[in-house]
């Protein structure tokens, strides 16, 4: 594409992002990844725990793709922590990933979140980002299934 055909408006960093634009961007990346790798087996993965009042008290979400599972979010309400919900959710996600022929689970956590929790469950640290966020660390972890 020639530069003379490009729009002449300034680039604007947006903070109020339309969900449809984010979906479009993600779809474009996913299409490229599928075309490049040949893996067409992307599937979301999630599980949730509700209390007796049907309030959401814990959940896990991520996806499987190309023989891998990525956990993007694992959360337990502060009033329900240390009761085994996080462990149960992670075990369920790992079991489902294994059923989907995944050989590895990857995830990220921060120093103020739960790196020791994941290590206790067999995850190994594969990388660390210093000062993300400032004064803290982000850990990249993986577990072979």
Does residue 1 surpass a pLDDT of 90? no
- pLDDT: is 6 or 57 the higher one? 57
Is the predicted pLDDT of residue 25 greater than 70, yes or no? yes
How many C-beta atoms lie closer than 10 Å to residue 23's C-beta? 10
According to the model, what pLDDT value does residue 4 have? 66
In the predicted model, is pLDDT for residue 137 greater than 60?
A: yes
Q: CA nearest 90: which of 69, 111, 110?
A: 69
Decide if pLDDT at 10 tops 90.
no
Q: What is the Cα–Cα distance from 141 to 121, expressed in whole angstroms?
A: 11
d(CA 103, CA 105): 7
Average pLDDT over residues 99-117: 97
* Cα three-residue angle 48-78-130, rounded to 5 degrees: 95
Q: What is the pTM of this model?
A: 0.88
Residue 94: pLDDT band (50, 70, 90) is very high
Contact indicator for 143, 123 with CB cutoff of 8 Å: yes
Q: What is the pLDDT of residue 9?
A: 82
CA distances from 144 to 98, 105, 114, 121, 124 (A): 10, 6, 19, 11, 9
Q: So what's the pLDDT on residue 6?
A: 74
Mean pLDDT estimate for the chain: 95
Domain chopping of the chain, boundaries:
38-144
CATH class (in words) of the domain with range 38-144: alpha beta
Strands 56-65 and 68-76: what pairing? antiparallel
How large is the average pLDDT for residues 30-57?
96
């Amino acid at each position: 594409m020639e530069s003379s055909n490009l729009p002449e408006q300034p680039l604007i960093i947006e903070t109020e992002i339309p969900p449809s634009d984010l979906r479009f961007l993600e779809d474009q990346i996913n299409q490229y990844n599928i075309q490049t790798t040949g893996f067409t087996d992307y599937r979301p993965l999630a599980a949730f725990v509700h209390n007796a009042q049907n309030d959401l008290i814990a959940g896990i979400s991520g996806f499987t793709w190309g023989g891998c599972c990525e956990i993007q979010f694992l959360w337990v309400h502060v009033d329900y922590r240390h009761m085994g919900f996080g462990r149960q959710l992670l075990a369920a996600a790992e079991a489902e990933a294994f059923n989907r022929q995944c050989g590895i689970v990857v995830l990220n956590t921060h120093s103020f979140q739960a790196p020791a929790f994941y290590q206790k469950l067999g995850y190994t640290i594969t990388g660390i980002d210093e000062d993300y966020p400032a004064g803290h660390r982000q850990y990249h972890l993986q577990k072979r299934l």
